[in-house]
Structure 1
């Protein structure tokens, strides 16, 4: 089964973009959020674009 990049419903602070990237890369969401905070001017625009482009993950009762 292929992994798909989706916005996270569980690791969500604002839109779930960092949580979705962390789930896709098997990282802690804290690390991804810290990387986004280090480069705020550029990543603010990227975050807004990703929040609109990446689809939300489908809600399920059982997650692995």
Structure 2
């Protein structure tokens, strides 16, 4: 299965960007949110990249292409 960088639809605080990045890199979403918050508020870097990711990253629809459908 190929990993895709997508915003998470269910684990959302603002737009699901941090949860999508955490899922892609197999990290805890809280850790990614804390790192992103520190970058945004302490160093001033993070707000514009977050908005760009929000605009560019597609939303995960929750369906895997190779998932077997069981009735």
* Superposition TM-score, scaled by structure 2 size: 0.80
Paired position in structure 1 for 2:38: 38
Paired position in structure 2 for 1:2: 2
Gaps of 5+ in 1: none
Q: Does 1:47 align with 2:50?
A: yes
Gaps of 5+ in 2: 64-71
Q: Does 1:16 align with 2:16?
A: yes
What's the RMSD between the two structures over aligned residues?
1.4
Q: Give the greater-gyration-radius structure (CA).
A: 2
Following the alignment from structure 2 to structure 1, what is the Cα–Cα distance between the partners of residues 12 and 55? Answer: 15
Q: How far did residue 7 of structure 1 move?
A: 0.1
Following the alignment from structure 1 to structure 2, what is the Cα–Cα distance between the partners of residues 10 and 27? Answer: 16
- Give the helix-richer structure, 1 or 2: 1
How many residue pairs are counted as aligned between the two chains? 61
